[in-house]
Structure 1
Amino acid sequence: MKVLVTGGAGFIGRWTVDRLLKDGHQVWVLDDLSNGRKENLDDLKKQKNFMQFITGDIKDRRILNHLFTKKFDICYHLAASINVQDSIDHPEVTFNNDVVGTFHVLEQCRKNNVKLVFMSTCMVYERAWSAEGINETNPVKPASPYAGSKLAAENMVMSYFHAYNLPVTVIRPFNTYGPYQKTGGEGGVVAIFLKNKLADKSLQIYGDGKQTRDLLYVEDCARFIIESGYSDKTNGEIINAGLGSDISINDLAKLAAGDEDRIEHITHIHPQSEIPKLLCDYSKAKNLLGWEPKYSLEEGVQKTEEWIKSTNLI
């Protein structure tokens, strides 16, 4: 197939492109590099089915008009402003990228009859109330402009399914981590903890650290993303993916550092956006796609630490 990945130079985007190439598809990548890095794609660009990398913005209609002349079969729309704290400080930027940008991509998919897989987030949910975790019917509670923008975009995506019969799928991966994730302020908690451990620094935790997260290894996430696009069963559906078990940030820090004395609790910058318990029920993904995670948290953390060591990011 001919496939477009928006945000393909990002952390999850890079792994999605990698998987699509391994499956034999022709892949185009659009990324404005506000969050992604060209270097993430260095080893993938050499492959014959990597067709083109375009530095550009999903809000630029001219670029999108030109790109969609390629007659794609699927568009995996991963491009977005993804930082919760930034969205609270600069909500307009997040709204324009995540809602307006998604609208422009949607319009191109409608005009060219291209299936769209829209990357949303578990942050739209309120919290996990039961031991079974959060399923797709759980209540939503956008506690940040990031979550609000993703929900608004989800609704636009689903409206195109109902109004135009456009094949669309909304996916809500839980907290994803692994190699190629940034290890600085915009990175994920696992990558930041591991980098600080390797650099002999303290591991800082916002608040009391009792908040829990369901952590999904990035290769499992990429497999979920692309398989959501392959199947017609997913059209018009919202689907979760996660590990199916959660861990407190305190326990995650202990796992990463192996030393409780390195942990330091600091005042939360935006406590109003904190979700106290995130635990995924991925049974819908399992039923529709036969998908389930292959990597345990311990395996994923070890692979991520090995990658950080190999890249001299410390």
Structure 2
Amino acid sequence: MNDAQVNSIQKDLSHIFKETNDFLSLKNKKIFITGASGYIGKWLLFSFAYLNNIKGYNIDVIATSKNMLDCDIIKYLDTKDKFFFENIDVRNPFDIPSDVNYVLHLAGCPDRRLHASEPLGIISTNIDGTRNVLNAATRVESLEKVLVFSSGLVHGQQYIKENRIEYKPGDTLNFSSSYIDSKRVQENVCHIYSRQYQLPVSIVRPYSFIGPLQQLNRPWAINNFVKNALSNKNIKVLGNPNTLKSYIYPTDMINHILTYLISDNLDTPLELGAPYSIRLKEIAEIIRDNVKSPISIEYFDAEAKSVKQDFICDVLNNKNDIQFKDAICRTLDWYRLN
């Protein structure tokens, strides 16, 4: 990352925050974040820094993760001594300062490569880590709300076959279940703490994102498409090209998270996704059409009959401002700045 890319992120954030006072209730608050070195965490840190520096919100942030002090964005954050960074592994008990107002529990890893190589660690982070966060939160005197970030994958999988949508529950006898099923247990743990300990805890279910700060080496189709296109290499569609995916841009993501954070809603999870889907081949074509060099699209599973799609929730709690084509253009432009 460089200064030009940071300025681009600031410009994106100005579209959310510059002309609104919707988040004024965050002024002078103290926020504790786990998993702050991940994708959502980084965008939250840039957002809180923007609110402090441009809007004068005076938000104190304690940003933690297993390797927080090695996070690459720390040097780019103009924190004005309002941010404190700390290495915390949520699998071990810890304390949250008693004057914290909001806790955002983001710790976890959606990278399916780690689901296979470290399944027990994934399970422990999602379940033991969540219990440790919620136990610590019960001792916080000034607590207003806890957000626990689960996953849209808890809904299971949808397939389209012969123009019918079929639901397929998760298979517990594979490594990917170490993440998905422990996320389901995580949600149940939140429910227990809410009912038995009257803890103000709410659940966020993220789906898929595309935008600046994505790690292009992650094993997801759109990341690989963007990475290849920027390297002037052919885009390789390894799965069924008719697979349906849904994405939102990070400014919409941040807007929805902060709106939900300061709301009175404690019972209805935030379904952090898009109300529409787009085929894998269309994604590849849009990316191809927005790069200058002539590249081709290679298909490797074009004859598959069943079509998998991201779970499209019947009720999404949000409206997205950045449409998919615009999100792709913004993403490509951001990486070109490097």
Q: TM-score with structure 2 length normalisation? A: 0.76
The structure 2 residue matched to 1:262, chosen from 297, 303, 313, is 297
C-alpha separation between the residues in 1 aligned to 2:70 and 2:210? 16
Cα 1:266/1:128, change in 2 over 3 Å: closer
**Paired residue for 2:208?**
175
C-alpha separation between the residues in 2 aligned to 1:83 and 1:43? 25
- Deviations 1:141-165, CA, capped at 9 Å, x for gaps: 3453211111111110111111111
The answer to whether the 8 A contact 2:202-2:269 is kept is yes
C-alpha separation between the residues in 1 aligned to 2:149 and 2:307? 20
The structure 1 residue matched to 2:260, chosen from 225, 228, 243, is 228
- Larger Rg: 1 or 2? 2
1:152 equivalenced with 2:185 (yes/no)? yes
**Paired residue for 2:281?**
250
**Paired residue for 1:163?**
196
Q: Which runs of 4+ in 1 moved over 4 A?
A: none
SS at match of 1:39: coil
The answer to whether the 8 A contact 2:151-2:205 is kept is yes
**Paired residue for 2:163?**
none
The structure 2 residue matched to 1:72, chosen from 73, 94, 100, is 100
**Paired residue for 1:103?**
131
Cα 1:220/1:139, change in 2 over 3 Å: same
Q: How far has the Cα of 1:284 moved from its partner?
A: 4.8
Cα 1:160/1:139, change in 2 over 3 Å: farther
The structure 2 residue matched to 1:29, chosen from 63, 66, 69, is 63
SS at match of 1:190: helix
Cα 1:198/1:120, change in 2 over 3 Å: same
C-alpha separation between the residues in 2 aligned to 1:241 and 1:300? 16
Q: For 1:108-147, what aligned pairs fall within 5 Å after superposition?
A: 108-112=136-140, 114=143, 115-128=145-158, 141-143=169-171, 144=176, 145-147=178-180
C-alpha separation between the residues in 1 aligned to 2:276 and 2:74? 31
The structure 2 residue matched to 1:240, chosen from 271, 277, 281, is 271
**Paired residue for 2:86?**
54
Greater mean deviation of Cα atoms: 18-27 or 238-247: 18-27
C-alpha separation between the residues in 2 aligned to 1:275 and 1:109? 42
C-alpha separation between the residues in 2 aligned to 1:275 and 1:47? 46
> Which residue type is aligned with residue 228 of structure 2?
N
Q: For 1:182-221, what aligned pairs fall within 5 Å after superposition?
A: 182-184=215-217, 186=218, 188-221=220-253
Q: How far has the Cα of 1:213 moved from its partner?
A: 1.1
**Paired residue for 1:271?**
none
> Which residue type is aligned with residue 203 of structure 2?
V
Kindly indicate which of the two structures has a greater share of residues assigned to helix. 1
- CA-based RMSD: 2.8
The answer to whether the 8 A contact 1:240-1:280 is kept is no
Greater mean deviation of Cα atoms: 120-129 or 109-118: 120-129
Q: How far has the Cα of 1:196 moved from its partner?
A: 0.8
Q: How far has the Cα of 1:244 moved from its partner?
A: 1.2
Q: TM-score with structure 1 length normalisation? A: 0.81
- Deviations 1:67-96, CA, capped at 9 Å, x for gaps: x12521111111102212431343112101
Q: How far has the Cα of 1:18 moved from its partner?
A: 2.1
C-alpha separation between the residues in 2 aligned to 1:302 and 1:242? 19
Q: How far has the Cα of 1:10 moved from its partner?
A: 1.4
**Paired residue for 2:11?**
none
C-alpha separation between the residues in 2 aligned to 1:187 and 1:13? 20
C-alpha separation between the residues in 2 aligned to 1:219 and 1:199? 26
1:276 equivalenced with 2:276 (yes/no)? no
SS at match of 1:161: helix
The answer to whether the 8 A contact 1:123-1:142 is kept is no
Q: How many residues align?
A: 286
1:299 equivalenced with 2:326 (yes/no)? yes
C-alpha separation between the residues in 2 aligned to 1:49 and 1:284? 37
C-alpha separation between the residues in 1 aligned to 2:34 and 2:219? 19
- Deviations 1:28-65, CA, capped at 9 Å, x for gaps: 1001239x961123322x2226321112211232xx22
Q: How far has the Cα of 1:14 moved from its partner?
A: 0.9
For structure 2, the 5+ residue unaligned runs are 1-28, 52-56, 161-165
Greater mean deviation of Cα atoms: 296-305 or 221-230: 221-230
Cα 1:260/1:196, change in 2 over 3 Å: closer
> Which residue type is aligned with residue 300 of structure 2?
H
